[in-house]
Structure 1
Amino acid sequence: MKIRRFYGKDMREALKQVKDELGGDAVIMSNKKHADGIEIVAAYDKEPDAQLVSKNSNDEANQKSTSKIPSLSEIIGDTAPDSLKALLEKQSQAVSKKTEAIEAYQPQESTPKSPSRTEKQRPNYQNDALSEMRQELSSLRNILQFQVSGLIAQEKQRQHPLHGYLLEKLHNMGISNNLAEEVVSYTPESSDERQAWLFLLKLLANKLQTKHDDILSQPGVVALMGPTGTGKTTTIAKLAAQAVKKYGVENVAVITLDNYRIGAFDQIATYGKIIGCPVKQAQDASQLTDLLYQFKNKRLVLIDTAGYSQKDARLIKQLDTIKQNSCVNIRKYLVIQANCQYRAMQQTVNEYRKISLHGCILTKLDECYSLGEAISVAIENKLQICYLADGQRVPEDLQSASTKHLITSAAKLYKKYALLHTRASKVNSEVAAI
C-alpha cells in the first residue's frame, strides 16, 4: 500500500485530484486544513491506470465547460458512491481490510511462549491507529455534510429566492431559525415582497398568545419568579401600586421570599411605605403559610421571590417552598427580560417548567434592540404574555400585553437597528473595495 498527498483550494478539488490520479479504489487516510486550502492523504494498492488518468482529464475538461451545480457523485467521482452513507461504508470496509492485513501480518508460532515486550505493546499501537483513523473519517464526514448542506441551501435559494430574502429579514429581526422557516413555508407563492412580509407579521401575531390584565383583574395570590436582574421587585411595586389605585390600600399586600440579596427587603419595604400597603418577609415555607393565612381577606397578595441563576441549587429549594403551600392556589408568573439572548431565555423557561406557569411578564423593553428573541421563546413554549414593562417608573411603565403592540414594536426595532446595521456594513464593504 502506497501513500500520496494531494492539495486543493477546497475539499471538492482535493477529492477530484484523488479520483483522477488514483481512481475510485483509493482510501482517504486523513485531511487537514491549511491557509491555502485542504491537504488529503490517500492510500492505494496499485499504480493508477494511465488510460483512466487520460479519461478523467478529458472528463475534467468537459466538466469545466458546464456551469451546473455538481452533485455528490461528481464531487467524489463517477465510480464512487452517490451518497454520504455509501461513501462512509466503503471507507469503513477499506479500514477493516487494512486491520485484517495488520492482524494477518503477525507471525503465528507453533509452541506457546511468553510474549515479548514488543508483542505486548503491538495491540496498543493498533488500537491507537484505528482510533486515529476513526477520528479522521469522522472529520471527513462532517466536512462532506457541511458541503452537501451548503449545496442544498443554494438550491433552495435558487428555487425560492423570495423565501431566502424573508428568512434573512426574520433572522435580523431576532426570530429563531426553526420559527422563521416554519412561518416562511406558509408564504403564498403569488405574493410580492411587501405582501409576503405583512403576511409573516400577521402570522406571528396569530401564533403569539397574550392575556389582558390577568393579574389585576383576578383576585388571589400571585408569585413572580425568574432569574436575578429581571426586574421582579420593580414589577411587584408597579402591580401593587396599580392594584391599590384600583381596589384600595386595604385590599393589597406584599410578601418577599428574598432572604439572600443584601437590601432586598428594604427595597420592597420602601415601595410598600410609598404605596401604603403592608410588606412582610417569609424565611421558609411555614412562615409563608402563616402570612398567607394572615392576608386571606386581601383581594390581591403579591409574592416577590429571590432571583437565582438557573444553575443555582437554591432555585430548587425556592420552587419547593412554593409547591409546599398547597392550601393556597398560588398563580406563578415568569419574569423574563426581553433584552436577553435567545438561549438564555430558553434555558430559563426550561428550568421553571418544573412548576405550572400561568404566564410571563416581559421587562426592559426600553433596553431592547430586537424583540424577535422574546417573541420566539413565547411562541415556541406556548407562554402567554400578560404584561410589558418598558421603564423604571412606578407604576406608569407597566401595561397589559398586546400581540399587535409586540409585533409592531419588533418590526420598528428591526427598521431602526437591523436595517441601519446592514446598510452600514454594505457601505463599509463598498468603501473598502474602492
Structure 2
Amino acid sequence: MKIKRYFAPDIRQAMRMVRDEQGPDAVILSNRRVEGGVEIVAALDFDEQALRDKLEDAEAAESVEVAMSAPAPQVSAPVLSSAVADEPPLRATRPTPRGEQRPEAPRPRSRLEPSTSTVGLLARLRGATPAPARATPSVGGGHNTETVPATVKASRPAPNAHFRSAGEDASAASRFSHEPQPAPAAGANAEVLAVLQQELRRLGKVVDMRLMEAGWQAASRDSNTTRLDLLRGLCDRGFAKAVALNIANRLSTLTDSEEAWRQAKDLLVRQLPVADDQLLEYGGIVALVGPTGVGKTTTIAKLAAKFRLKHGPRQVALVTVDNYRIAAHDHLFTYGRLLDVPVAIASNAEELRRSLQGFLDKKLTLIDTAGMGQHDARLAEQLSMIKDCVIPIKPYLVMSAANQLRGLEAVIRSFGSCQPKACILTKMDEAAQPAAALSVLMQHRLPLSFVANGQQVPEDLHVARADDLVQGCFDSVHEDGDGTGGYGFEDWIANGAS
C-alpha cells in the first residue's frame, strides 16, 4: 500500500495532484487545512487483509509485552478458569520448578488460560474497564468477599486450599458459560476493520464536502458578519473567489449591511474595465477573434449595421480570413449584400495586406476570423497573421457570457498571444451567472466594449455600461430564485474556485 501526503493551495489542485500521480483508484485517508493551503493523505493499492494482519500483530505484541512486564503469580496449584461441562476432571499437577521445561499438551483453542496477559487483553477489549473478580469458594464452603480487579493482578489461594473436585469444576464451568463473555480479539479486530473500511469509503465520496465544512467553519469564526454576508452574496451571484475576497476585505470594517452592499456595487463598477475607444464613432481596423460558436460573424454584422446607420454604407468594409470551414464565406457575403457593403476574402497574410490597403478609404473595416478550439494548431498561425500584419489591426476578443469561469479563463489564455485590445461578450441572454464573465475581465484587466443579448441585427448589440452590467448580476438572483445557478457558497469553498 502506497501512502503519500500532498500539499496544495486549494482542494482542486490537491485532488488533481492525487489523480495525476495515483489515479482514480486512490483512497483519501485524511484531509485538513494547513497554513497556506490544504493537506491530503492518499493511499494506493489499499489492502484490507494487510491492514487486518498488522492490527492483529500489533495487539498480539502488546499482550506479550504486558505478560512479560507483569510479575509472575505464585500459585500452589493450577486453577481452571474456563472449561466445558463435558470435559473430564482436571488432574492435579505439581508446579513446574523454575528453569524446567514442561511439554505442552495439545489443548482446545477455546480454552482460556488464567495468565495476566489474557486477563489484560480481556480488560482492554472490554474498554479498559477493570471487572470485579468472582467470589472464590473457601475451604468451609463460604465465599471470600474480597474482590480483585480483572487485570494483571492474580489472587493467591489460601494456604490450606484443596483442589476442587470434578463436580465443582463442572459447576464453575457452567457458571462461566452463562456469564457474558468478552469478544475475542479477532472479532474485535473485524469490527474495527469494518468500521474503518466504511469510514474510508465515506471519506472518498464526500471529501469535498468535508473540506467545505472545514472552510466554512474557519470562515464562521470571523466575528464580522458583514464580511461573511458579502462573501456569501457575491459567491451566490457567480463572482470569482478572488473578486469576492477583494471586495469583502476592503469593506470588512463596515457594520451596516445595506451600506456595505451599496459600496460593494460601487467597487465592482469601478473595477470592471470598459473600453473607451468609441469604435462606432471613429471606426478603425478591427479583427474579431475567439473560439468557435461564440457568434463572431453575427457580431460583425451587428457592428457593420450600426456603423452604416450612422455613417452610411460607403464607410464600412468587411474582410474574412476564414478559409477552414465549408461555405464559411457565404454567411458574411449574405450580410454584405443586405447591408450593401463590400466584402473581401484573404487566404494569407499578403492577401490580407492588399485587402486592407484597398479599404483604407473606409472608416471601419471589420475582419472575420475562423472559429477554432484553443488547442487547434492552426489557431497560432491565424493569430500570427493578424498580429504581424504591416497595417495595424486591433484584435477584439469575442467570448460567450454563458460559459463557465474556468472556460472563460482558458479562452483568454489561448488568445492572449494576439494581445486583444477589448472584449465583446455575447449570449448575455443565455448566461445564468454573467458575473463569472465580468470577474474574468476584472482579473485580467481586459476592457469590455460591447455586449450582445440576442440574434437580432443590429438591435441586440449594446455599448457596455459597467453600472448596468453589475446591477444585472444582482437582478438575476431574484429572477432565478436562489441565484446560485447550481453553484453555491459551499461548492465555492470546497472547489477553491478563483
Q: Secondary structure at the match of 1:216?
A: helix
Counterpart residue number, 1:167 = 231
Find out whether 1:211 has 2:226 as its counterpart: no
Q: Compared with structure 1, are the counterparts of its residues 294 and 57 closer, same or farther at alpha carbon in structure 2 (3 Å cutoff)? A: farther
Q: Compared with structure 1, are the counterparts of its residues 176 and 57 closer, same or farther at alpha carbon in structure 2 (3 Å cutoff)? A: farther
CA offsets 1:158-203 (integer angstroms, 9 cap, x no match): 3234433332221221111222122111124342333222222221
Q: Compared with structure 1, are the counterparts of its residues 162 and 256 closer, same or farther at alpha carbon in structure 2 (3 Å cutoff)? A: same
Q: Compared with structure 1, are the counterparts of its residues 322 and 31 closer, same or farther at alpha carbon in structure 2 (3 Å cutoff)? A: closer
1: CA distance between counterparts of 2:331 and 2:237?
A: 36
CA offsets 1:199-241 (integer angstroms, 9 cap, x no match): 2222111111102463223332110100011111011011111
Counterpart residue number, 2:402 = 339
Match of 2:317 among 237, 249, 253: 253
Compare the two structures and name the one with the higher helix fraction. 1
2: CA distance between counterparts of 1:32 and 1:57?
A: 30
Pairwise mapping of residues 283-322 of structure 1 onto structure 2 (< 5 A)? 283-322=347-386
Work out whether residues 32 and 40 of structure 1, in 8 Å CA contact, stay in contact via their aligned partners in 2.
Answer: no
Q: Compared with structure 1, are the counterparts of its residues 41 and 360 closer, same or farther at alpha carbon in structure 2 (3 Å cutoff)? A: farther
Match of 2:62 among 37, 40, 47: 47
Q: Secondary structure at the match of 1:200?
A: helix
Q: Compared with structure 1, are the counterparts of its residues 422 and 282 closer, same or farther at alpha carbon in structure 2 (3 Å cutoff)? A: closer
Q: Compared with structure 1, are the counterparts of its residues 212 and 323 closer, same or farther at alpha carbon in structure 2 (3 Å cutoff)? A: closer
Work out whether residues 290 and 399 of structure 2, in 8 Å CA contact, stay in contact via their aligned partners in 1.
Answer: yes
Q: TM-score, normalised by structure 1?
A: 0.64
Greater C-alpha Rg: 2
Q: Secondary structure at the match of 2:288?
A: strand
Pairwise mapping of residues 279-428 of structure 1 onto structure 2 (< 5 A)? 279-325=343-389, 327-419=390-482
Work out whether residues 476 and 483 of structure 2, in 8 Å CA contact, stay in contact via their aligned partners in 1.
Answer: no
Work out whether residues 336 and 361 of structure 1, in 8 Å CA contact, stay in contact via their aligned partners in 2.
Answer: yes
Work out whether residues 215 and 222 of structure 1, in 8 Å CA contact, stay in contact via their aligned partners in 2.
Answer: no
Measure how far apart 1:375 and its partner are.
0.9
Work out whether residues 213 and 387 of structure 1, in 8 Å CA contact, stay in contact via their aligned partners in 2.
Answer: no
Q: Secondary structure at the match of 2:417?
A: coil
Q: Compared with structure 1, are the counterparts of its residues 152 and 354 closer, same or farther at alpha carbon in structure 2 (3 Å cutoff)? A: same
Q: Secondary structure at the match of 1:393?
A: coil
CA offsets 1:27-77 (integer angstroms, 9 cap, x no match): x9999799xxx9996685952888xx89x989xxxxxxxxxxxxxxxxxxx
2: CA distance between counterparts of 1:407 and 1:166?
A: 15
Q: Which moved more, 1:213-222 or 1:285-294?
A: 213-222
1: CA distance between counterparts of 2:54 and 2:234?
A: 43
Q: Which moved more, 1:157-166 or 1:390-399?
A: 157-166
Counterpart residue identity of residue 411, structure 1? F
Counterpart residue identity of residue 366, structure 1? D
Q: Which moved more, 1:297-306 or 1:204-213?
A: 204-213
Work out whether residues 174 and 373 of structure 1, in 8 Å CA contact, stay in contact via their aligned partners in 2.
Answer: yes
2: CA distance between counterparts of 1:33 and 1:173?
A: 45
Counterpart residue number, 1:87 = none
Provide structure 2 residue ranges, at least 5 long, that are not aligned to the other structure: 1-27, 31-41, 67-119, 130-202, 489-498
Q: Secondary structure at the match of 1:253?
A: strand
2: CA distance between counterparts of 1:396 and 1:47?
A: 82
Work out whether residues 31 and 40 of structure 1, in 8 Å CA contact, stay in contact via their aligned partners in 2.
Answer: no
Work out whether residues 321 and 345 of structure 2, in 8 Å CA contact, stay in contact via their aligned partners in 1.
Answer: yes
Aligned pair count reads 314
Q: Identical aligned pairs, as a percentage?
A: 33
Work out whether residues 30 and 40 of structure 1, in 8 Å CA contact, stay in contact via their aligned partners in 2.
Answer: no
Counterpart residue identity of residue 347, structure 1? A
